[in-house]
């Protein structure tokens, strides 16, 4: 009998990896991903994705979702990143679907997106340029602009979270009530501006622990998963390319100087996938502020190193639109900045690390969030 109890294992059904991998492998060709960028969406890929039920994975069945664990949803997002699938899988499911289910708000048909919280803006996810007022009848009126809202142009519903008198409140607004200005991120993924201009939506209080901070963490975890997939694929492209490209009579991968790039990229791929899987495991069990913050910071830094290494190893070919490396590197440069920069998460982690003190520092590294209690 042991004194300290290990938590129950968190298992991801292999069928999920297989099914999502096969689906994206067939649909997310280089051409299809490029076409989605040019047109601002990929409705056919989204439709096929929805047919599998993965669009609402980890959203409880009683709330109209597909069920499954957060860890399983994170595995699907890893594959979205690996195939650069141009779809709002995170926004519709573990972010928007989660907020609506938690607040007990009805889930309308069609795509749901979420206004990402800004670190500096405290409780209100729309940023300081927006304001919201609650009516007594469960409706809310929004004004102002929300920025960098993923896939808002294709969404039926825009969801945000804000605070009233210390109570976290989820607001769900029909996109038809808003004016949406398309804007891309660096990978050409939609990150639109939403003007509310007096839009009316439904509002409901969220349970304790469902607030802008929690959304920021969940959003960060979603980006780590996407980044883990993208770095792994970028790394595989680089190994293949450097084995095929012959210079000075041999594949360039045989040169030590090139091998250094391959090794460094492989390390970062392994590091970010590990970070994503451990953070997902802990977040599936409960609160995981340390693991998620650590994972996002590690992923942000790894994205910087790995994109540099993979581009360098590819030479000029990696700088062209014709070769697919950019689908991954540009997404990584964008995702690195979404849901918390290096500076933001370093500061959060710094508070935790200095808070536990010298004797608590190593236990924080080995036990994570559990050591903060």
Partner 1 sequence: MRFTPTELTGPELDLQTEVREFLAAELPPGAHEPCLGMAADHDREFSAKMAARGWVGMALPSRWGGSDRTAVQRFIVVEEMLRWGAPVGHHWVADRQTGNVILKFGSDEQRERFLPPICRGELGFSIGMSEPDSGSDLASVSTRAERADDGWVVNGTKIWTSNAHMNDWFICLLRTAPMEDGNKHAGLSQFLIDLQSPGLEISPIPFLDGSHHFNEVTFHDVFVPDVNVVGQPGMGWHQNTTEMAYERGGPDRWLSPFSTVEQLLREAAGTPMEDAVSDLFGELAARWWGIRNLSLSVARLIDEGEAPSVESALVKEMGTRYEQEVVEKLVQLIDEEYSPESESLFERLLAQCVVTFPGNTIRGGTIEILRSVASKGLQGLPA
- Contact residues toward partner 1 (CB under 8 A) are 2-7, 239, 243, 253, 256, 259-260, 262-263, 266-267, 270-271, 273-275, 277-278, 281, 290-291, 293-295, 297-298, 301, 343, 345-354, 357-359, 361-362, 364-366, 368
CB of 254 to partner 1, least distance (A): 9
CB of 121 to partner 1, least distance (A): 19
Given the complex with partner 1, which of 322 and 359 has the nearer CB atom? 359
Residue 174's beta-bridge partner residues? 157
Question: How many Å apart are CA 362 and CA 373, to the nearest integer?
Answer: 14
Residue 167's beta-bridge partner residues? 164
Given the complex with partner 1, which of 7 and 209 has the nearer CB atom? 7
Identify whether the C-beta of residue 262 lies closer than 8 Å to the C-beta of residue 254: no
Identify whether the C-beta of residue 140 lies closer than 8 Å to the C-beta of residue 96: no
Given the complex with partner 1, which of 8 and 31 has the nearer CB atom? 8
CB of 229 to partner 1, least distance (A): 14
Identify whether the C-beta of residue 230 lies closer than 8 Å to the C-beta of residue 79: no
- Of 179, 112, 118, the closest CA to residue 148 belongs to 118
- Of 6, 87, 4, 77, the closest CA to residue 44 belongs to 87
CB of 109 to partner 1, least distance (A): 37
- Of 218, 126, 217, 129, the closest CA to residue 173 belongs to 126
Given the complex with partner 1, which of 148 and 314 has the nearer CB atom? 314
CB of 347 to partner 1, least distance (A): 6
CB of 228 to partner 1, least distance (A): 12
CB of 94 to partner 1, least distance (A): 19
Strands (E), the chain: 112-114, 130-134, 139-150, 157-164, 167-174, 179-181, 191-195, 199-205, 246-247, 250-251
CB of 336 to partner 1, least distance (A): 15
- Of 306, 314, 309, the closest CA to residue 335 belongs to 306
**Residue appearing with tokens 């012959």:** 246
Given the complex with partner 1, which of 37 and 75 has the nearer CB atom? 75
Tokens standing for residue 27: 């649909």
Given the complex with partner 1, which of 98 and 290 has the nearer CB atom? 290
Tokens standing for residue 129: 């340029």
Identify whether the C-beta of residue 86 lies closer than 8 Å to the C-beta of residue 189: yes
CB of 233 to partner 1, least distance (A): 14
Q: Would you tell me how many other CB atoms lie within 10 Å of the CB of residue 256?
A: 6
- Of 235, 222, 207, the closest CA to residue 296 belongs to 222
Given the complex with partner 1, which of 186 and 353 has the nearer CB atom? 353
Given the complex with partner 1, which of 266 and 303 has the nearer CB atom? 266
Given the complex with partner 1, which of 132 and 231 has the nearer CB atom? 231
Tokens standing for residue 238: 């680089």
């Amino acid at each position: 009998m042991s004194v300290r109890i290990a938590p129950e294992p968190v298992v991801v059904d292999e069928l999920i990896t297989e099914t999502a991998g096969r689906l994206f492998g067939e649909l997310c060709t280089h051409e299809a991903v490029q076409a989605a960028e040019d047109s601002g969406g990929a409705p056919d890929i989204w439709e096929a994705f929805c047919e599998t039920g993965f669009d609402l994975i980890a959203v409880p069945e009683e709330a109209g979702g597909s069920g499954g664990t957060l860890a399983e949803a994170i595995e699907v997002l890893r594959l979205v990143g690996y195939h650069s699938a141009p779809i709002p899988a995170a926004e519709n499911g573990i972010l928007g679907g989660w907020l609506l289910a938690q607040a007990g708000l009805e889930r309308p048909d069609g795509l749901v997106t979420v206004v990402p919280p800004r670190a500096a803006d405290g409780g209100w996810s729309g940023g300081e340029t927006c304001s919201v007022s609650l009516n007594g009848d469960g409706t809310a009126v929004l004004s102002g602009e929300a920025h960098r809202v993923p896939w808002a142009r294709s969404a039926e519903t825009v969801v945000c979270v804000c605070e009233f008198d210390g109570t976290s409140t989820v607001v769900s607004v029909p996109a038809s009530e808003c004016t949406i200005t398309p804007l891309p991120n660096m990978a050409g993924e939609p990150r639109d501006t939403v003007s509310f201009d007096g839009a009316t939506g439904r509002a409901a209080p969220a349970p304790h622990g469902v607030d802008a901070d929690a959304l920021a963490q969940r959003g960060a975890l979603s980006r780590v998963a996407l980044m883990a997939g993208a770095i792994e694929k970028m790394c595989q492209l680089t190994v293949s390319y450097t084995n095929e490209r012959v210079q000075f009579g041999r594949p360039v991968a045989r040169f030590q100087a090139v091998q250094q790039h391959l090794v460094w990229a492989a390390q970062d791929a392994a590091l970010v996938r590990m970070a994503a899987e451990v953070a997902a495991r802990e977040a599936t069990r409960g609160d995981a502020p340390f693991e998620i913050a650590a994972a996002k910071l590690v992923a942000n830094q790894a994205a910087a190193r790995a994109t540099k290494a993979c581009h360098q190893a590819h030479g000029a070919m990696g700088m062209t639109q014709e070769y697919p490396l950019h689908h991954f590197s540009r997404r990584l440069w964008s995702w690195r900045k979404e849901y918390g920069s290096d500076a933001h998460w370093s500061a959060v982690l710094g508070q935790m690390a200095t808070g536990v003190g010298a004797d608590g520092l190593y236990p924080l590294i080995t036990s994570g969030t559990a050591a903060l209690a």
